[in-house]
Chain A
């Protein structure tokens, strides 16, 4: 099992993703430089958090044109697994790997805190180690995390079970008070129609170590291992 973690010049969670995969899980991991055209035979691509090219214009807008993204897109089209976290989710949307877009938080402020997520679909390759309706504590840290899409796109996402994670309040309900950024329908993470690309704003790689307060992100990475190894 080989993970490839893409490093854009402004990525800043690439090392965290690397640690989660290589140290916590003990899996093979390589860093993929944004100017490279070679995925080095990885099974799973991680698009990590950060500010890919500064993201002054729109988060992820410039990153999608980088050389490595051409390979990542081809990988996804072949059915290869892509995990976009935070900035990686934004890039995946800009690159058309996932529908919709991520806009500035409705509070107009960057938001950094632990949020509660509810698992909506536990049959995807990313979420099968969770139970439906399981509640997870995972950190977020973003300024542009408000998921938007046309109404028909949202309907399709819901209808086809492509919403994987939703923000919920302390009672486990997807209320306004549980929604940290104004995302449509409290959407925190979605998969594509092929089920092989996941984008999520919360940071599972920051929730893999009991010392840091939560290990709820671990099952996502472990789940990927099961499926790819099977």
Chain B
């Protein structure tokens, strides 16, 4: 069939090509692919598919280096979500994704639609979502704009998940000026399915109908800069909203209808119309199934009049799905959707001819040969070089930084660190999330990892998200390793064996060598850690161009870890539980201070080498801890991360707000270390355990050659946290620590409403 330009569409000019983000080389590639000039619609399709977000053109070769296999991995990268087996015929699907740019423009809707999208990625695998997590990065809270973004994003995340009835059970929030103009919002979803119900988004079966399901298509979020064309005048630009609005109620209907559809056996594939909407969902399903496809845009239900094929193909209206049904089952499919008050329209067909064809009624408006339109995109290997300024920062001797006068009392420093919003309690955030719906949340937010039981089994899964952008900034390879190691430690503390990760890689502009260096090194570090810890990567997301006029954000890979607990009786809390228990430290303190929250918050310094990460030691630590937990000798376990040993001890003491426990701690074994490195340094590979049977814990540690030492005892609710090392000693009343820890975020956020003043500039996705 011949493709002719559609009347009214703009002519293809070099300027128009440039506005679509295609380089001259990429345009040549397109000409070669087509053997002719593209139409406007074709240019739009290619600009969307070859856009970084869909094509991974700068990241793919690097991502390929990550380990992705293990016997328990049922679905690795490449699908809507990864899937691992958890035994007994059950499987867990999970994925993390960014919505940074939309959140910077409109925090409530941006964050909400991020949650909506990740939920759909999980339930299109045939899994019922059972948990959500979110990893957030914002600028410093003293800016009203930051408070507005933070409050809006949290509310958006909460409202969407709450309405869907999926508990939001964990995550992290970090505040740092580096994220001021470009916040990061990464949402993770975890779903449960029977192994034999796993469905893949592969178009199959010549003659099978393709249906658009769910919400109508509007002009939301159509990319492609501002075109100088007849169809796209200023007036139509104004009509085109910059943000997508989420409709969680429709999202919930889609969830139920989709699971019913998958169960019914009437369909062969289903995919969310996410980024680049109908275009990418149809092209990706065609590529995976290696089949041809034809779509007729005139059959797509629209919300607005006069929408062009270009607009319909590229719209990012929310709550829509593309479904490949079995021929002849259209009515049954419609019946299921009608039951949920949703519409389904046949908009295309799987065809034998190897083409990707778009019709508008009788007219062919786009046609690409082959079925690999998505994978045939260009791939780049950008230059990578470390910014010498960062190397300089890393080499700085941070021990030379003189302590502040107030630090002569470490209780002051500790309380001050606990009031850093990054360390302080995030209750203000997670109280806005329904954490208990689904009646499976064994451990909600507040501990090291969330634990969700798997109904009808004795098992549970443990979930955590982690990533420290400051470490990665200072040393990307080490920072990448730590992100994985910390999340493994977190799930292990809850009693779980780390199983697999998903990751969200938030970086700046990859065309800058210093950024690409960070990306390549961080991924390498993550890969090393995943290999040693035997936690393969089952999927993830890359978000580049997270920059604002003040520069790139910290390179921030976020790891979403899934762990498995064989029996719920192993579930372990993070805080002290029993007066009289012995406190054991697994792992050793060091004199490392670099990259610490202590330096950043108390001294305003971001420098030094981040703590070393010995992966074999991390693995042994996890094994030793799990063995001790398995023997029933562990009352609580909490890892040391931001703020170091002193902060971790305070968290253990305060974890149960109503029943706190003081503790008497003796760190005399390390009295040769500087007081502040010992208390606030962030040496890796350490876990604080409380136990009634210290010998059993020490023996388990010894079997795995993990350093372990008794450091004190758990006291009663009115006792303070008192810590000594040799002749140095400090005593901190828990009420002071609790006031700092619990008051920090509410005291800033509850002051007044946050106005949506000046719009920021952000370019990440």
Interface residues in chain A, defined as those with a beta carbon under 8 Å from any beta carbon in chain B? 9-13, 15-16, 19-20, 49-51, 53-56, 109-113, 139, 141, 143, 170, 203, 205-206, 208-209, 211-212
Contact = CB atoms under 8 A, between A and B. Distances in A.
Q: Which 4 pairs across A and B sit closest by C-beta, in order of nearness?
A: A12-B165, A54-B249, A141-B434, A16-B439
B249 A16 contact: no
B249 A206 contact: no
B159, B434, B658: which has the most chain A beta carbons within 10 Å? Answer: B434
A45 to B, nearest CB: 20
B432 A112 contact: yes
Given A16-B439, A212-B441, A112 B433 contact: yes
Given A112-B432, A211-B453, A211-B568, A16 B437 contact: yes
Given A9-B340, A110-B158, A206 B439 contact: yes
Interface string B239-256: 000000001111011001
A170 B658 CA distance: 9
Interface string B422-449: 0000000011111111111110000000
A167 B155 CA distance: 24
A113 B431 contact: yes
8 contacts: A16-B438, A20-B439, A51-B252, A109-B155, A112-B432, A112-B434, A112-B436, A141-B434
B163 interface: yes
A212 B443 CA distance: 8
Contacts of A211: 442, 453, 568
Contacts of B375: none
B436 A139 contact: yes
B164 interface: yes
Interface residues of B, number: 33
Given A111-B431, A141-B162, A12 B437 contact: yes
B341 A109 contact: no
A205 B436 CA distance: 11
Contacts of B250: 54
Nearest to A54: B249
Contacts of B163: 10, 12, 51, 54-55
Contacts of A13: 165, 437
Given A141-B434, A206-B436, A208-B439, 20 more contacts: A12-B252, A15-B438, A16-B437, A16-B438, A19-B455, A20-B439, A49-B437, A54-B250, A56-B249, A110-B159, A110-B431, A110-B434, A112-B430, A112-B431, A112-B436, A141-B162, A141-B436, A141-B437, A212-B440, A212-B441
Given A51-B249, A51-B252, A109 B437 contact: no
A16, A20, A53, A205: which has the most chain B beta carbons within 10 Å? Answer: A16
Contacts of A49: 437
A129 B340 CA distance: 39
Nearest to A107: B750
B249 A53 contact: yes
Contacts of B438: 15-16
A67 B634 CA distance: 54
B439 A212 contact: yes
Contact of A111 (B253, B256, B432, B442): B432
Contacts of A141: 162, 434-437
Contacts of A56: 249
A141 B438 CA distance: 12
A150 B252 CA distance: 35
A122 B253 CA distance: 39
Contacts of B256: 9
A112 B78 CA distance: 36
A123 to B, nearest CB: 29
A118 to B, nearest CB: 17
Given A10-B249, A110-B434, A141-B434, A50 B165 contact: yes
Nearest to A214: B436
A54 B250 CA distance: 8
Nearest to A50: B165
A143 B162 contact: yes
A20 B253 CA distance: 24
Contacts of A12: 163-165, 252, 437
B158 A205 contact: no
A212 B436 contact: yes
Interface in B159-175: 159, 162-165
Contact of A109 (B248, B432, B441, B455): B432
Nearest to B569: A211
Contacts of B453: 211
A15 B453 CA distance: 15
B260 to A, nearest CB: 13
Contacts of A9: 249, 252-253, 256, 340-341
Nearest to B439: A16
A30 to B, nearest CB: 17
B161 to A, nearest CB: 10
Contacts of A20: 439
Contacts of A209: 439
A144 B568 CA distance: 34
Contacts of A112: 162, 430-436
A194 B481 CA distance: 64
Nearest to B658: A170
Nearest to A108: B753
Contacts of B455: 19
Nearest to B430: A112
A211 B214 CA distance: 38
A53 B163 CA distance: 10
A98 B303 CA distance: 39
A226 to B, nearest CB: 23
Contacts of A19: 439, 455
A19, A53, A110, A203: which has the most chain B beta carbons within 10 Å? Answer: A110
B462 to A, nearest CB: 15
Contacts of B162: 51, 110, 112, 141, 143
A115 B341 CA distance: 36
A32 to B, nearest CB: 15
Interface string B400-439: 0000000000000000000000000000001111111111
A143 B340 CA distance: 25
B113 to A, nearest CB: 16
B256 to A, nearest CB: 8
Given A143-B162, A212-B441, A110 B432 contact: yes
A55 B247 CA distance: 11
A15 B455 CA distance: 12
B158, B165, B341, B455: which has the most chain A beta carbons within 10 Å? Answer: B165
